[in-house]
Structure 1
């Protein structure tokens, strides 16, 4: 049993699912999916569809696999070929995925958007049921690491190596704005690569981004610049989120101390630093991914990373520090990506070992 976590249940691959604490929530393994690529292709992104019907996953070899969220059965394969075929390895890592919200004006549903880290990064919009690429956009000279939709599907934004945020109109697929820099007094924009991007849940003019420069920037599209900076948060993956009510920001930093933090959106100050308590006292977890659950209260947190290769679940309560209630521990490779289902019943954890573990919250 790993590092003193109680109530652990061993599962496939040597890792363990541990439930602990005195709360009512527990976790258990539901299924594991593994495309079986050789050599192994790291899993870079996992995302449940807006109706919780599908789980989309993307890999370092460019492939996008879409599974039934309930059973784990593969339903669709995009941008790749089955494992063990000559075309199974492509040179374009698919770094992130987002589902187009069902509120979007288009009648076409089951639409997925992906970005890749080619030197001239591509944005590709897929109709998963037909396997067709509906639209493709190239950002010349920019490796794209992250993207997000506003929740009504009217616009999306991308960011990556060149430190700029680009905003696109969903209906026309045209770039309508570039965000860069700041007021040069309190904000300066980004000075290094951007790895995480998140729209405010209620305001399409506000976008958050985080990256290698130890900041999270808050952008206002009406001004075209960063209007607020959160300092000392080292973002190396999809590890910036905002609560459903828009009042709190979650960051997961790739470092050994104070890695998981909750910030007050209004002041830009740290409200809580979450005590991680790794399974091993010698190797704290350095975070690549962090996310609030998607219920109105953002009542849970899931985060994961490297060094201590694990993912951990926390329950949030008003006026109290988040309390851990479960973990996926002793994994062979780092956790790169996590996602909650819309209903909060399931959580997906993607790893550098090419596997995606889906857990059930009960």
Structure 2
């Protein structure tokens, strides 16, 4: 998509006698032009939300009826899913104007663990706070003696891990609100069985109750088994600076999004750790912060230098959507509710493939991402 040249409105206004109303109108046009983003492919803006402060993280609520944004001023701002209108503000004197929100999560829903209408947020001062957003009340606070960068709930049990700048992964039981265990490497640095720098990502295996992965500044992806004392294996060469690790829904493949110019986007086999693919879907060597599986065949990634979001078809390894000219880097992405899939069968094989591919794209779930003070909810067309 061609990018238009920025109109030199301010320079022109300096040499012309115009009314104050016209001056404000022209400045408004200039601001709107600068805020434009470029969108290519089968993706469109469903809704955009302007926040008062820059955001570091975002999350859908359990039933996808609200969207939360974690801000640099220590406030979690909650918006309505349908309209983007502000709904709730979550903050207290312990974090307000004191420390950035670094991550937002909620417990997985099941028959045993129903909807709680809660968000759990981590903060750079070490606080972990669970909020009931409907009442704007803090349910409990855990105070860690470190900078805490993130939290990840177990997919089936009321447990979660937190991670930060102290090379340790803390495992908690949410029902008792107690720390069950600390995961860390051994005292033998040559074994590489634990983090040696800050940890910025964690993800549980979708099929195995005991296994999870972590990654951070030490350029490794660490594999953990809760039945073992230390990390059991690792992948080297991946510089993780955000939620840049995800596991395929079937559990056999790992998506790694690294904040580096070479090998920024890779797929690994979970069992053998063999690299399955190095993806280069376009000409932009963006350093990636985050990435997630949209489905078994599509992924979405975001990063900076340049600031962009990609939606990639894993079958063709090509972009089906590309969002550029964003004001800030993309630190966080979350995936929305799934849609019912519909197929149309045709006699011709080529037509059938084309129809199937188009159907696959249009039934992909909405997703949200943040860039500076803006949240964007995207849909497929």
TM-score (norm 1): 0.85
Quote the residue 2:333 is aligned against: 338
1:2 touches 1:329 (CA, 8 Å); kept in 2?
no
Task: Report the CA distance between 1:50 and its aligned residue.
Answer: 3.1
- Of 45-54 and 331-340, more deviation after overlay is shown by 45-54
Partner of 1:316: 314
| Conserved? CA contact 1:105–1:153, under 8 Å | no
Indicate the residue corresponding to 2:374 in structure 1. Answer: 355
- The answer to whether structure 1 residue 158 and structure 2 residue 158 are counterparts is no
2:245 matched to 1:245? Answer: no
Q: Which has the higher helix share?
A: 2
CA contact (8 A) 2:62 2:115 kept: no
Does 2:153 match 1:149? Answer: yes
- 1 CA distance for matches of 2:92 and 2:50? 15
Segments ≥4 residues shifted beyond 4 Å: 104-108, 182-186
Q: Summarize the alignment of residues 1-362 of structure 1 with structure 2, pairs less than 5 Å apart.
A: 1-2=1-2, 13-19=35-41, 26-36=42-52, 41-79=53-91, 90-103=97-110, 105=112, 109-118=116-125, 121-140=126-145, 142-182=146-186, 184=188, 186-278=191-283, 284-293=285-294, 295=295, 297=296, 299-317=297-315, 321-343=316-338, 344-351=364-371, 353-362=372-381
Unaligned runs of 5+ in 1: 5-9, 20-25, 82-86
Q: Helix, strand or coil: the match of 2:331? A: strand
Is the 1:259–1:287 contact (alpha carbons within 8 Å) kept by the matching residues of 2? yes
Contact 2:150 2:200 in 1 (8 A): yes
Deviates more, 1:124-133 or 1:102-111: 102-111
129-138 or 57-66: bigger deviation = 57-66
8 Å contact 1:27–1:360 — kept in the other structure? yes
| Local SS of the residue matching 2:130 | strand
User: SS where residue 210 of structure 1 aligns?
Assistant: strand
Between Structure 1 and Structure 2, the one with more strand by share is: 1
Superposition deviation, residue 61 in structure 1: 1.2
Partner SS state of residue 166, structure 2: coil
Partners of 1:32 and 1:88 in 2: how far apart? 26
Larger of the two Rg values belongs to structure: 2
Give the CA deviation at 1:190: 0.6
Q: Which residue of 1 aligns with 2:359?
A: none
Q: What 5-or-longer segments of structure 2 have no aligned partner?
A: 5-31, 339-363
- 8 Å CA contact retained: 2:109, 2:115: no
In structure 1, what is the Cα distance between the partners aligned to 2:265 and 2:100?
27
Tell me how many residue pairs correspond in the alignment.
328
